[in-house]
Structure 1
Amino acid sequence: MKTLTYVSTKNVNELTWPTTVENITLYSSALSVFTDFQNAGPRVIESSTPADELVHLMRKEHVRMKIVVDENNQFIGIISLEDLSEDVFIKQVANGFKRSELMVADLMRSKEVLLALSYTSLKHSDIESLLFSQRNNSLQHLLVIDEETKAIRGLVSSNDVARHLRLDIDVSYSSFEQTYQSAIHGQKESSSNLKVA
């Protein structure tokens, strides 16, 4: 057993803060808005979880999307708060399902219908190119695949992009499409305000 050392805080005034990238612009590396699962583990949920339970869990955790896994912790899809909206539950009940019996597997978007961005492509891109490629995407999250390991490496959230670029949009309902429009519109406004000497 090792003995731990304790130090007085009497003469300590500073705090350690995480390193952040300042002044992120449209021309910054797309990796600056990427959530890498090697650094921050993925938020997962088992497919057998009751859907009603997940709604409360996601709101409590303040997350809008989870990666769905099977009993072996293998990736099988994603589920977002959009997939768990009251309208979705009403449609399922109208189709004969009991709300209390609906599972995550019943409402998720399976991996067979999803497209993800290549990590290599993201690594060699800037934010402007990322937003341009997603300009018609009405969703909030984009999965990123490491093609070498054939694994989900991470994701990009339109909310993170909007926050880093300091865009004036409601991030609780944002999408890549809205973020793209706001970023391009904001860029045009700021360039039109330039004065020539």
Structure 2
Amino acid sequence: MKTLTYVSTKDVTDLTWPITTANVNLYSPALSVFTDFQKAGPRVIESSTRADELVLLMKKEHVRMKVVVDAENHFIGVVSLEDLSEDVFIKQVANGFQRSELMVADLMRAKEALLALSYTSLKNSDIESLLFSQRNNQFQHLLVIDEDTKAIRGLISSNDVARQLRLDIDVGFSNFEQIYHSAILGQKDQAKKLKVA
């Protein structure tokens, strides 16, 4: 066992702060709201995990989406808390499944049904363009693919966008469509009110 060293805080006056992008707005680079898996690894779950156990795990970890992988860690889809809602379980049980038999593979959104944003286009974009392109997206997460490596490079969360833009919106239930309406259309409504005054 190693001995730890303790130091008095008597003469300490400063705090260390993370390096952040100050004043993120609609014209900030889209990368400022991007979670890069090269910096923060993906949150993954195997497709053979019991779905009811995953619900508890996600709530405990305070995450709303996981990337689904097979036994070899190959990407096969995504699963979110919306995919694991009580209504979904009730429908599956009504269709003859036992709740405890349902696996992540049964409830996930398979990669064949997903679209991901190009990392190259994201690098050359701002948040306003990102939100405009996602104005009809009712999901909370958007995957980003590196076309050069053919790998999922990261993701964008509607909640992260709302937090960074400091929108007055309930991030627990937000999606890209709502963020677009709040950030883009809300800003236009604000401008109309200012012109009238």
TM-score, normalised by the number of residues in structure 2: 0.93
String of CA shifts for 1:41-79, please: whole Å, max 9, x gaps. 111111111100000111111110000011111111000
Q: Quote the residue 2:43 is aligned against.
A: 43
Q: Quote the residue 1:82 is aligned against.
A: 82
**CA drift at 1:194:** 4.0
> Aligned equivalents of 1:176 and 1:33: distance in 2?
13
1:89 aligned counterpart, secondary structure: helix
> Aligned equivalents of 1:168 and 1:185: distance in 2?
13
Counterpart amino acid of residue 190 in structure 1: Q
Q: Percent identity?
A: 80
**CA drift at 1:8:** 4.7
Q: Quote the residue 1:148 is aligned against.
A: 148
Q: Quote the residue 2:60 is aligned against.
A: 60
String of CA shifts for 1:120-161, please: whole Å, max 9, x gaps. 000000111100100000000000001111110000011111
Say whether residues 1:127 and 2:127 are aligned partners.
yes
Counterpart amino acid of residue 145 in structure 2: I
Q: Quote the residue 2:107 is aligned against.
A: 107
Counterpart amino acid of residue 158 in structure 2: S
Query: Counterparts in 2 of 1:163-174, with a 5 A limit?
Result: 163-174=163-174
> Aligned equivalents of 1:79 and 1:34: distance in 2?
19
Counterpart amino acid of residue 104 in structure 2: V
1:83 aligned counterpart, secondary structure: coil
**CA drift at 1:33:** 0.5
Higher alpha-carbon deviation: 70-79 or 9-18:
9-18
> Aligned equivalents of 2:50 and 2:141: distance in 1?
22
> Aligned equivalents of 1:5 and 1:160: distance in 2?
37
2:25 aligned counterpart, secondary structure: coil
Q: Quote the residue 1:179 is aligned against.
A: 179
Q: Quote the residue 2:28 is aligned against.
A: 28
Instruction: Quickly say closer, same or farther: Cα 1:93–1:9, change in 2 above 3 A.
Output: same
> Aligned equivalents of 2:195 and 2:149: distance in 1?
50
String of CA shifts for 1:60-106, please: whole Å, max 9, x gaps. 11110000011111111000000000010011111111000111111
**CA drift at 1:5:** 7.9
Counterpart amino acid of residue 32 in structure 1: S
**CA drift at 1:193:** 4.6
2:63 aligned counterpart, secondary structure: coil
> Aligned equivalents of 1:169 and 1:5: distance in 2?
45
> Aligned equivalents of 2:132 and 2:34: distance in 1?
16
Query: Counterparts in 2 of 1:156-167, with a 5 A limit?
Result: 156-167=156-167
